[in-house]
Amino acid sequence: MPGSRPRPLDGYFLEDYAPGDRLVHATPRTLTAADASLYLALTGSRNPVHCAAPLARAMGHPSAPLDDLLVFHVAFGKTVHDVSFNAVANLGYADVRFLEPVYAGDFNEVIRLFHDEKAVREAAFAAECRAVESGILALDRQLFFQTRSHYADFAEFDARMIQVTHTNHRLSPDLYAQVRQAFEAHLSPEGATFYPPQRVDVLKKPG
């Protein structure tokens, strides 16, 4: 099944796919604020929520979200080797859904090196969707906001985020060095400040 084993050298064929397959692409791609700026400069996009951070914050976003089509182009571009390797032509897509805004962020990239919650978050979101779709709960509203995390140096980051009592991260020396290098890329004489975006879905009982 695609995503559960390395892609064959000759690619997948139609018979190899089944509904619900999830593809894990070989090369990850992190979208940054630089990508957003370059995309806006090249395309001239006029969607104000993607162009103006003050407007985006006034609408409830923690910062200007990435342009939807930038996310679309990168996400579907990454599928070419898994989906279109044996296709005569890749003519189009159907039923594409933008389920939530995508933001550029630095803090998550540092944390993800040793504490990746992607699978847990996806499972929680899937459970929430099932509860809403079945009528057990109703989505009242969604809140998007930004939090501020400041660290004077890596020692403080280490104490607050790595050497915690509730989780034994067990970082190898090599991984610990990678985390430190990633953190110190954002370090200034005043320390390192991150503004990770947050999302809260407020649910309620129907009726």
Place of tokens 């594409």: 96
The structural domains of the chain, ordered by start, are: 1-104 (3.10.129.10), 105-207 (no CATH)
* C-alpha separations of 95 from 12, 98, 125, 140 in Å: 22, 10, 19, 25
pLDDT (tens digit per residue) in 50-86 = 888 888 878 777 678 889 889 888 888 877 777 777 7
pLDDT score for 144: 76
Pair of tokens at residue 83:
């989906």
- What values do phi and psi take at 87, rounded to 5? -80, 145
- What pLDDT, on the 0 to 100 scale, is given for residue 2? 46
Radius of gyration of the chain, Cα coordinates, nearest whole angstrom: 20
Q: How many CB atoms lie within 10 A of CB 26?
A: 10
Low-confidence ranges of the chain (pLDDT < 70): 1-6, 26, 62, 88-91, 107
* 183 within 8 A of 192, measured Cβ to Cβ: yes
Residue 107's H or E segment, with its range, is: helix 107-112
State the pLDDT at residue 153.
95
Indicate the pTM of the whole model: 0.51
pLDDT of 5 reads 59
- Report the alpha-carbon distance of residue 122 to residue 130 in Å, rounded: 12
Residue whose token pair is 């110190």: 184
DSSP letters of 84-112? STT-S------S----S-----SHHHHHH
Tally Cβ neighbours within 10 Å of residue 76. Answer: 14
